[in-house]
Structure 1
Amino acid sequence: MLPSATAPVMVGRERELDALRRAHRETLDGTPRGAVVAGEAGIGKTRLLRELTAGLGPEVVVARGQCVARGVLAAPLSPVREVLRDLLAHFGAPTLLEAAGQMAGLVPALLPQLAEGDPPELRPEQLYDLLTLLLQELSFRSPLVLLVEDVHWADPPTLDLLREFLHVLRRGRILVVVTCRDDDLVAHEPLGPFLAEAGRARAVRMIELERLDPAQVAEQARSIGSAPAGEPELAQLARRSDGIPFLVEELLSLDGGPALPRTLRELLLARYARLGPVAQEAVRLLAVGGVRVEHDLLALVHDGRPAELESALREAVTARVVVTDDTSYTFRHALTQEAVYADVFPGERVRLHSRYAAVLAQRPARPGRAAEVAHHRVAAGEGAEALGALVEASREAYAGGAPLSAGQLGERALALWPQVRDAREQAGCTRAQLYREVAKAYDSAGDERALGVLEDALATVTAADPAGRALLLHEAMVVRYSHGRSGGVQLCQEALELLPDPQDDYGRFVRARARCGLGIALSFLLDPEGPGLLEEAVGEVRELLDRSEDPQVSELARWELVRALTNLATVRTGRRDVEETLAALAEARALAAPDPDSLLRVDERVLALLLDAGRFARARDVATDAWERAQACGTHRSWGAEMLLFRALATLALGDLGEARKDLDHVLTLRPVGIDRAMVAGAQIQLALSEGDLAGAQARYAASRDLVQEAREGDPGDDIILAFPLGWLRLAGDDLLAAWQEVETLWRHPALPTGLGERAVALGAAVLAAMRRRGVAPVGVPLGEAEDKLRRTLEVEDGAAWAVAQDWRTLVDAELSGPDGTGTDVGAWQVAVAATGHTRVPAYQHAYSLVRLGEVQLAADDRAGAAESLSRARQEAERCGFVGLLREADGLARRGRLSLTGDPEGAAREGGHGAASGLRLTSRERQVLELVAAGLTNRQIGQRLFISDKTASVHVSAILRKLGASTRSEAAGRASEVLPPQPPRGDAREGGGSP
């Protein structure tokens, strides 16, 4: 029996342990924390975690996950599932499902033992949202400490998930601790960026474990009890171990002396070498299974008598080569497992891997099982069986919310394909289909390897498989478009040429799909041929649905019809056919009804159409329903973010700035990317300008300039949408030439998408009017020619279908009215006020038109008319919070000595402060403003009024917005304009005397 060489006390890690304990205590107020424990192999990472958990109270729930060294063949999310299994064991299924709330139906995707039937598929964003909600809610029942060890071996989705948790988790009594080796970042390529990002997160502690110094090595040796007696021997121990605690223990287990191993490998195998032959065989079997193997699996793989295996394992445990828990065996250190595995002869290794694969393949399916089988099949050199296992593992990973792992596993299968004689039968699909699946997986993960896979596919799959090649060409178009690459049109044209007259229903489906793809590609480029191709595709798919008796083809055709009708909505919108488009979308919705994801895709098109057509109230309601649907199906951060953005745009147009701000802030917490993030920035600029906050709008643009510019280089529609807030920003900043450059976006593209250009044209009219007043002109374009170009842009073929365009036209006419084209005609502005009073035009434009009407009426000496117009403008601006317009209306009233409704005193005073005095502060806001004027901080205000610091901050922000003040000092300086004068001390009010 070898001596025990584990120190009863941990040496030299007091500071690191204290840091972890502090992090845990900080989580108890509901603020999550993270920690990364890094260091070389054997440095004591696992021991540190053991000391941490040993000191936790019984109320704290500890859940563990272990990453394994299997490269791309690692079962995706296996460590995450281990953590969830621990939580399930502690809390029980009812509590776990209750904590998941609306997303409870997705839990079986990670814990199939809870499934009734087949587990559901899981998208990456659903995975993150589900785990976030689950962990947060469980942590309010019991504090959680989640441990994930050896993340240098983590599969991509596990690493991505941990990265999200360490950066974004905001609520919950949760401590997430991960360990990793940092001695070979090149070998573990994704680890470097992961550590760099974790180091930048404020809520994450980076703990680097250093080697022990000679004094600490001596202390560790003495605590074990078998330390060398003399200082020379202790010095030799420190030198030979290099201060690595695990090696200190291994060296002491050999009793020191001259027979010390000469290499690290010999040292790691020293305990193993002292075992008997049967025990060594059992340990080799365990090493082939991995660092940790369940007893029941090991028993099935072992080909001897159960008693023989139990005796051998008992010897290995006694020798401290392996340790055991209730259900499994684990090597005392991963270094030992690696050394033993390397000591297994090649023939024995192949035989043992083959036995593991055969046993695992017969066990009940569970997430990650196919990847385990694939790992052992590949290691055993079983090409045919490995191909099938890899394809199954790839599909399982994709369904489980791990598309990057799916792509990597599928790519391994493609590499194996030429070596397998009956590859199609083993894989259960064609080579072309597998290429498409791999490319789709990479594309879903946002990985550019999708492009390379499709290039390989098109070089491999020839016209001998016309349907397979056509679908690959179509997929290449889709992926190239999603990555901003050109050439998609030519790919779809080639796909159609491959199928001039298909003889079977599947071929007809492929042709319709290729035609639909070409129609979409051309339509995005504003090519006039696009709509006709889309309509042809719709007709082909309808015919196929009517005639096909193949249920698989019918299902494919149904989803293709949803796709074609949804994209046709954009085309029909361009032809001013709003009601027909909505009817087509209603049909698409009915076809998509079983699939929430497809329903949300239809909602996206409906909302874009409603916003373009000026149907803002309906858009707000549809977006609210869609947001709730996205929450229910767990797509908060993808579809959910987009639906909240649509709702923010609708409420902003309706003049509900407070609700728009809430939704935009919420969208940002969902971490949108790409075009959605750019659109949020554009909406925030609009919101700030609507509130008269030019500095805030400029700051928003400065913070998102690169993102916005990148988004504008893609789709023409996105470019035009973003041109409006940026042009408005330039105009508000009195940079007329830059504002006109944004207006010129209208002519940068071959055609103008209907519903997108009207605002930019109206903005252009305002810019031209301002230029005429200032005596400047656009670069290289006479003012008259610029005006003609603007007016031609707004020509509408069918005004009845797109009445909103006529409303915008009245604004253009008003801006450019009068003998000098500077917007001085009263009648034109009266028409604009009447037209913009409809809800088809944003509320800001109506209030703006009223201010302009009041201005020209005042110039025409129509004082009564001006007073009425400015009073109405004032009421609208105050209702919505258009502070800039409110100031302008009051300024005009002061200059004209007009008394406005709602501003009985300030507006009539020359030099008075009408804008401030007419603002309606709530009673609470008046109390807060008094304390701001007295110089109190938010915390002091909260203490004085018995409200929270956060509530006080909200009130202060509202006051600054209403006053149009940029600082607390400015608001304090204007307090006297809005607050009633304070009575002198000792006045004769009822009750008498001063307080």
Structure 2
Amino acid sequence: MLGRAVSPVFVGREEELSTLFEAFGEARKGSATAVLLGGEAGVGKTRLVQRFAEQVTSNGAQVLFGGCVELSTEGLAYAPFTAALRQLVREQGPARIAALLPEGAERDLARLLPEFGEPSGDGETDTGRARLFEQFLTLLERLAESRPTVLLIEDIHWADRSSRDLIAFLSRNLRVPQVLIVMTYRSDDLHRQHPLRPVLAELGRVNGVLRLDLPRLSQDEVAQQMAGILGSAPDYPKVQKVYERSEGIPLFVEALLDSGEDCAFPESMQDLILGAVERLPEETQRVLRIAAAGGIRVGHALLAAVSGLSDIELESALRPAIAGNVLQIADSRAYAFRHSLIREAVHDELLPGEHQRLHARYAEEISRDRTLVPPGRAAVELAHHWYGARNDLWALIAAWEAAQKSFKAFAYTEAIPLLERVLMLWDRVPDAAERIGADHTSVLERASEAALAGGELDKGHKFVKAAVSELDETREPERVAKLVVRWANLKIYKGRMGVVEDFRHALRLVPEPNLDRAEVIMPMAQHLMLSGDVDEGTRLVEEGLRLARELGDRCLEGDLLLNLALGHSIDGDTESTLATNLRALELGRLEGSGRLITRAIGNNIDALSDLGRWEEALELSEEGWKKAKKYGRIRLNGVFILNNRAETLEAIGRWDEAIDTIERALTFGPVLRTRSHLLRLRADISLARGELELAEAIMGELGVLKERPEDFLQDITNSTRLRISWHLNKGEPGSALAVAEGFLSRPSQSPKAMLGWRMLSLLRTVCDAAGAVEPARARALREQATGLAAGLKVSGPVAAAYQLSFSGDFDGAASSWERLNRPHNQAKALLRAAEARALAGDRDGAATRLRVAHPLAAALRAAPLVDGIEALSRRVGVTHHQQEVPELLTPRELEVLRLVTLGRTNRDIASELFISVKTVSVHVSNILAKLGVTSRGEAAAAAHRLSLLSL
């Protein structure tokens, strides 16, 4: 209902409304995903998005509404998404919505709405949240298949942490057409430490996300608004007066006009907003104060119960507020304040005693009948109201219950403040442990579990430390051991060193052959393997496997088999690695464990790539990605699978695809170690292409140039290789030599046979490059490397090819790399072979090798390698002839080709050239056909080779 102080005319927002429609149009083509609409309180964000929603709905779109409320900050997780789901269920029924999702996926949504049945109970709480995110993404994608869909979320400045994370996840990962998310927030509420600020900054860098700021109205627009409200054009002095005093904020224009003919301006904005309330009957004002204590929206039955009024009495009291547009009638027999500022102003007028009494009344009535609030909200509502009532006993009980509900919904970050409240109130309730059925240490353990799952690492460390301090190792060793393992995992996630002693401590606490010991063995063995201690790690795995099989725990057995396979991989037994991973995969399938299935697939992609079976590796990565989506493990094992896929693509020279895969993986916010793997791989490609500024930036983030300490030998090896390549690219063989010497001085070097031979191949290059300036040091390094090579296994054809390069058989290496379809390594080996032939006086032999190497390097845009090939070619008199252009490209195709050479995706090109993604795809296909090439990388190389972009 619209009161008399609201203009029936939509004023001053045509440009912003047009922008929203443009974004919607781009979303329908798949080029836009979200709009972030910011503006001051009262500036008209809600009116704008409502008008937008009305118009797109009339054009056949489906609009889902979700709003955040202040209560969200106290643990009301996923409030806007629950509201949108409830709308869908109300309109279409739970069965129809469930039919849109993969089989069984509705059990994840049941954590938000009971209409979907019993929540899943697979025990994999570490993955449940990611799975819930994925199901919501799938739901939006499926809805959009039948009609355009808009998800409208208001007031995200009040969003809980889980909702903010889900907003960011959806904004980054929506890839299908016909879906647009529109979100509003108060820009004036975003203080420097506001948790929404980093989310907005992150989303501002995501392609397809638009930031839109809603300004205040101009004086002419205020005049139009006034004319709409008054029904006639106001005189200029009055317009000027209202404009100056409202400062162009529509809500204040309405309040000023509602305050009377003289437009008197009260001392504060709160007084101005309250003006409309204070002119209402006293009984209406009393009920509004009661409603304000309940939040921005409160149901009729709840308000009647708290106020003590009959239905007729309540309706009579509220009618003037509705007529005056202070309140509006919402869905499901509820009342909502027209604007949150009105509710805040009324709530702030409550006296302290009145505030406590009203919150107590809400808590009492909801405790008596939980159906007075929407399903799933009773626990957090009770926690909020009992705390507001200053009732320590029931505030503690309700906070504990709400925290358990948050765990059930995978809303770990919302559980943390609730558990902190339990801890804060603990000493005020003498029998707290009996009241909640858990001791103080259990609360700390639960809080540490929530912090680890939610990524709150510093808080997790604090909770674990406090819990351990309350326990006696001699009386409860198993309990302490679990906490110590959690402590170690927190350290690993923070990139800290020396956690193996924590694992040893935990293992000493559980000497008996039982499940507690096996659960310590599993992460400890994995850590030892990655740190290079394969022997001890293998002994522990074998012990753990005996225990797991005796206990009948097939999931634990599968995890331990994957650790055993890791040891085989490090030892160079790649065939055993594959076989053992497959045994773990079978156990995962028998148990329906998404964690085991996706972890095993990810590991086998790596093993297949090491064996040179790249086609199988890429096929398996596609299967693994689908499984990761199915099991909701995208941000954990799914990103690891993408990393291994990118490694395979990099190895076979499909660098642009590898970069796209890396960038896609990074959008999922991977854990620190996986992120580091992805960045190292990106740095490898940038160094190979001579992009030194980019490489330096990445290596700076990784801490590679400062030799940041690392525990895992694989990470140490790869970081060292980057530093050596960095110095060689800069023409600093002496510095490269120094890094290599430091690496070989370590007690342990390469963790895997293939990585070891790759490093030795690079050390051969360092020795050859530094031999002229530091002959003695280069000779000593070569001797050390030869000693290391004597004890290193050859684990497959990839390691064998690196071994040939190390031994100096560059022609043999080039042939091997050709068979393995690794063009960059092939071209490097050919250049080294050509150098050897040139030194031997065989100019023809050198020329033959250089003519094969040059197009390989050029197609990859491997600038340093191209320069090296061309420099040697000039010395031996080889000319690399340009091919004729098969057909002159059109001007538009040249524009597209220019952007392709810069590494732009189709979506980037579409945005820059103001054409659709489909049109870009057609242009790219035409370009590839005209140039006679099969990939974007080859097209870019041809553009440089044929000087097309200079035409």
Q: TM-score, normalised by structure 1?
A: 0.77
- Which of the numbers 748, 771, 791 marks the counterpart of 1:751? 748
Quote the Cα distance in structure 2 between the aligned partners of 1:402 and 1:654.
Answer: 41
Cross-structure match for 2:643:
645
Give deviations 1:30-89, integer Å, cap 9, x for gaps.
432644443433333323333433444342333222211126314111112223444555
Whole-Å Cα distance in 1 between the matches of residues 390 and 837 of structure 2? Answer: 89
Q: 2:491 aligns with which of 480, 500, 504?
A: 480
Correspondence for 2:786? 791
- Following the alignment from structure 2 to structure 1, what is the Cα–Cα distance between the partners of residues 239 and 855? 87
Task: Give SS of 1:210's match.
Answer: coil
Which residue of the partner structure matches residue 160 of structure 1? 165
Q: Is the 8 A contact 2:680 2:699 kept in 1?
A: no
1:416 aligns with 2:410: no
In the other structure, the counterpart of 2:66 is 65
2: CA distance between counterparts of 1:847 and 1:582?
Answer: 30
Q: What is the Cα deviation at residue 634 of structure 1?
A: 3.5
Q: Does 1:437 align with 2:411?
A: no
The Cα of 1:759 is off from its aligned counterpart by: 0.5
Q: 1:451 aligns with which of 444, 461, 467?
A: 461
| Structure 2 CA distance for aligned equivalents of residues 462 and 946 of structure 1 | 67
User: Which shows bigger deviation, 147-156 or 303-312?
Assistant: 303-312
User: Per-residue CA shift, 1:509-562, capped at 9, x if unaligned?
Assistant: 334434555544555444x4x743663465256337636xxxxxx7xx655444
| Distance (whole Å) between structure 2 residues aligned to residue 361 and residue 863 of structure 1 | 89
Alpha-carbon contact 1:226-1:252 (below 8 Å) kept: no
Q: Once the two structures are superposed, what CA deviation does each residue of 1:262-283 show, in whole Å capped at 9, x if it has no partner?
A: 6655554455455556645543
Counterpart CA distance in 1 for 2:193 and 2:368 is 30
2:698 to 697, 704, 708: 704
- Corresponding residue SS for 1:480: helix
Deviation at residue 579 of structure 1 after TM alignment: 5.2
CA distance in 2, matches of 1:176, 1:187: 25
Aligned pair partner of 2:345 in 339, 342, 354 = 339
User: 2 CA distance for matches of 1:492 and 1:354?
Assistant: 46
- Provide the residue aligned with 1:532 in structure 2: 536
Q: Residue 177 of structure 2 aligns with which residue?
A: 172
Structure 2 counterpart of 1:704, one-letter code = I
- Could you tell me how far 1:291 is from its partner in structure 2? 0.7
Compute the displacement of 1:111 (Å). Answer: 5.6
User: What SS does the aligned partner of 1:393 have?
Assistant: helix
Q: Distance in 1 between matches of 2:359 and 2:870?
A: 87
Structure 1 counterpart of 2:73, one-letter code: V
Residue in 2 that maps onto 1:8: 8
1:149 shift after superposition: 1.8
Change (3 A) 1:285 1:484: same
Residue 716 (1) aligns with residue 721 (2): no
Give unmatched runs, 5+ long, in structure 1: 548-553, 816-827, 897-909, 976-995
Distance 1:965 1:698 in 2: 19
Residue 923 of structure 2: aligned partner: 949
Aligned equivalents of 1:404 and 1:645: distance in 2? 27
Q: Which amino acid aligns with 1:332?
A: R
| Alpha-carbon shift at residue 141 of structure 1 (Å) | 3.7
SS in 1 for 2:184: strand
C-alpha distance 626-938 of structure 1, shift in aligned 2 (>3 A): closer
State the 1:153 CA deviation.
Answer: 1.4
Task: Please tell me whether residue 931 in structure 1 is matched to residue 889 in structure 2.
Answer: yes
Partner of 1:971: 947
CA distance in 1, matches of 2:264, 2:656: 78
Contact 2:558 2:587 in 1 (8 A): yes
How far is 1:764 from its partner?
A: 0.9
Q: 1:118-267, aligned counterparts within 5 Å?
A: 118-119=119-120, 123-139=128-144, 141-164=146-169, 169=174, 171-186=176-191, 189-196=194-201, 203-210=209-216, 213=219, 220-225=225-230, 244-255=249-260, 265=270, 267=272
Worse overlay, 237-246 or 756-765: 237-246
Contact map agreement 1:284 1:341 (CA 8 A) in 2: yes
Give how far 1:432 is off: 3.7
Read off the aligned partner of 2:78 and give its amino acid letter: L
Contact 2:814 2:830 (8 Å CA) reproduced: yes
**Aligned mates of 1:731, 1:675 — CA distance in 2:** 26
Q: What does 1:334-413 correspond to in 2, within 5 Å? A: 334-342=340-348, 343=350, 345-359=354-368, 361=370, 366-413=375-422
- Contact 1:648/1:664 (CA < 8 Å) preserved in 2? yes
Matched residues in 2 for 1:340 and 1:438: separation? 36
Q: Secondary structure at the match of 1:634?
A: coil
CA contact (8 A) 1:123 1:399 kept: no
Residue deviations 1:591-624 (CA, integer Å, cap 9, x gap): 4432112322233444445555666565445434
State how 1:229-308 maps to structure 2 within 5 Å. 244-255=249-260, 265=270, 267-273=272-278, 279-280=284-285, 282-295=287-300, 297-298=302-303, 303-308=308-313
d(CA) in 2 for partners of 1:848 and 1:200? 37
Q: Quick one: structure 1 residues 187 and 355, their matched pair in 2 at CA, closer, same or farther if it must change by over 3 Å?
A: farther
- 1:776 is paired with a residue whose SS is coil
Distance (whole Å) between structure 2 residues aligned to residue 2 and residue 565 of structure 1: 66
Aligned partners of 1:809, 1:260: CA distance in 2, in Å? 84
Match of 1:766 in 2: 765
Q: CA RMSD in A?
A: 5.0
Shift of 1:22: 4.7
Change over 3 Å in CA distance of 1:967–1:282 after alignment to 2: same
Tell me the CA shift for residue 331 of structure 1. Answer: 1.3
Give the 3 Å change call, closer, same or farther, for CA 964–386 of structure 1 in structure 2.
closer
Shift of 1:580: 5.2
Structure 2 match to 1:821: none
Aligned to 1:757, what secondary structure does the other structure show? helix
Assess if the C-alpha contact under 8 Å between 2:635 and 2:668 holds in 1: yes
CA contact (8 A) 1:357 1:374 kept: no
* Residues 257-266 or 286-295, more deviating: 257-266
Q: Supply the distance in 1 between the matched residues of 2:91 and 2:831 (Cα, whole angstroms).
A: 65
Paired position in structure 2 for 1:589: 585
* Structure-1 separation of matches of 2:523 and 2:89: 45
Structure 2 CA distance for aligned equivalents of residues 156 and 141 of structure 1: 31
**Number of residue pairs aligned between Structure 1 and Structure 2:** 913
Change (3 A) 1:639 1:358: same
| 2:77 aligned residue | 76
8 Å contact kept, 1:147–1:178: yes
Q: Is the 8 A contact 1:103 1:634 kept in 2?
A: no
Q: Distance in 2 between matches of 1:591 and 1:959?
A: 40
d(CA) in 1 for partners of 2:238, 2:856: 88
Name the structure 2 match of 1:50.
50
Greater RCO, 1 or 2 (C-alpha within 8 Å, sep 6+): 2
Give CA deviations for 1:225-268 in whole Å, capped at 9, x if unaligned.
Answer: 39999988777766765654334434544545799866655554
Indicate if the aligned counterparts of 1:357 and 1:376 stay in contact, CA closer than 8 A.
no
Question: Which 10-residue stretch deviates more, 484-493 or 954-963?
Answer: 954-963
- Measure, in 1, the Cα distance between the counterparts of 2:237 and 2:649: 79
Q: Residue 148 of structure 1: CA displacement?
A: 2.0
Is 1:546 the counterpart of 2:550? The answer is: yes
Q: What is the identity, as a one-letter code, of the residue corresponding to 2:503?
A: C
Q: Is the 8 A contact 1:300 1:359 kept in 2?
A: no
Normalising by structure 2, report the TM-score: 0.80
Aligned partners of 1:884 and 1:964 also within 8 Å? no
Deviation at 1:768, TM superposition (A): 1.6
- Pair member with larger Rg: 1
Q: Does 1:31 align with 2:37?
A: no
In the alignment, which of 567, 572, 582 is matched to residue 563 of structure 2?
A: 567
Shift of 1:479: 0.2
How far, CA to CA, are the matches of 2:761 and 2:678 in structure 1?
A: 22
Is the 2:858–2:941 Cα contact (8 Å) retained in structure 1?
no
**Quick one: which amino acid aligns to residue 631 of structure 1?**
K
